[in-house]
Structure 1
Amino acid sequence: MPRIIYRHQPATRFIVSAIGDPGERQFFIQVKSADGINSVTLEKSQVIALTQRFEDLIRELRRGKLVSPADLSAVADVDDLPMELPIDEDFQVGIISITWENDLVVVNIQAISQDDDLILDDLDSGPDLLVATLKINQVKGFCERAKTIVSAGRPACPFCGLPIDPLGHLCPRANGYRR
């Protein structure tokens, strides 16, 4: 089957959201532009890693003075609106790459595959690919929303760090007693 490449250049919306109860949530990234809308699923750990990489990128851009002070001090464009319906999963996220090009952040999100090859842009074969270009304030807004979404999950056990279900959990540090 030929590769599908979804392009959102520039993206007007780039958000993360979750559906379901804590412990059973499904995480989505939804991207919108004049060319349409796409929703992809990913793991909570991928949301956390993407947020950290975005924050690292902003820090490096500031340190290297690669962005104007006006862009760096721009208020985060936080999008608190829910995902747009219908929510149709285009693919499950495998590999994500982030680059800085022409004063924009370019995010390449590749579908999960058996090979997990590197992202090969503009080829006819390979896993599906979503390409989005973002402004710095959109990236800042994504990070703020992502932190809120991730922290809305189950709290961590203060003893072992594992998530605590509403009924508690069997804590390995408490010799299997319920906490």
Structure 2
Amino acid sequence: MAEREVRYKMGAAQSVSAETFGRPGRRTFRLVAEAGRAQSFIWLEKEQLVQLALYLQQAVKQIGETVVDKDSAPGETPWMGDPLEQDFHARQMQLEYDKEANCFVIHAYEGDEDDPDAGAQTSVSFWITMAQSSALADQALRICAAGRPPCFLCGAPIDPDGHRCARADGHAVFETG
């Protein structure tokens, strides 16, 4: 993915967290980032949050094996402009690692790169430390795993009111416990 212009560069996040709302099967997910006087609510699909968390978890582990005893120091200060609050659904996300700062930068874009209105849509970026990255990954994976359990045959989520498994073709009897 080519480098895209970011409308709101929030700088170093003082806090970043993953949240979910609703009951399993109807949940919505978002990232909340706070940096100085800026706050962003970035709504995601569950799969986007899972992939972000898995990548952060893997990257933190790999980087931790090669970069020893280096502090994380974000390359930008937190947002100090007028109070800013963004609330949008991210269609695209980008994660970059800054070796000098030993931090990640998360970019979230409301629109696709080839969308004709992409420049007018919301986009934010913020820096997170290695410790924040690890905590975010753990939190995101925990809330994503708290949903409906997957069917062991087809992998589709099992609803509380029953599950029609395409692989069982209606002929298998499933026992619990």
Scaled to the shorter chain, the TM-score interval is: 0.7 to 0.9
Question: Which of these residues, 48, 51, 54, is aligned with residue 53 of structure 2?
Answer: 51
- Say if 2:140 is the partner of 1:143: no
User: Matched residue of 2:90: which SS?
Assistant: strand
For residue 17 of structure 1, give the secondary structure of its aligned residue in structure 2: strand
Q: Distance in 1 between matches of 2:145 and 2:86?
A: 23
Q: Which of the two has higher C-alpha Rg?
A: 2
SS in 2 for 1:59: helix
On the 8 A contact 2:39/2:86 being kept in 1, the answer is no
Check conservation: 2:15, 2:34, Cα contact below 8 A: yes
Q: C-alpha deviations, 1:12-67, integer Å up to 9, x for none?
A: 1111111001000011111111122110111000011101111232233234x2x3
SS in 1 for 2:141: helix
The root-mean-square deviation of aligned C-alpha atoms, in Å, is 2.7
Q: Deviations over 1:126-158 (max 9, x none)?
A: 532111101100000001101110011001112
The equivalent of 1:133 in structure 2 is 127
Partner of residue 14, structure 2: 12
Q: Is the 8 A contact 2:6 2:107 kept in 1?
A: no
- Structure 1 stretches lacking a partner, 5+ long: 73-87, 118-123
Runs in 1 of length 4+ with deviation above 6 angstroms? none
Task: List gaps (5 residues or longer) in structure 2.
Answer: 73-84
- Structure 2 match to 1:76: none
**Identity score, percent:** 25
Flag the 1:40–1:104 CA change in 2: closer, same or farther, 3 A: same
SS at match of 2:51: helix
Give how far 1:8 is off: 2.5
Aligned-partner Cα distance in 1 for 2:94–2:36: 22
Structure 1 match to 2:97: 100
Q: CA deviation at 1:69?
A: 3.2
Normalising by structure 1, what TM-score?
Answer: 0.75
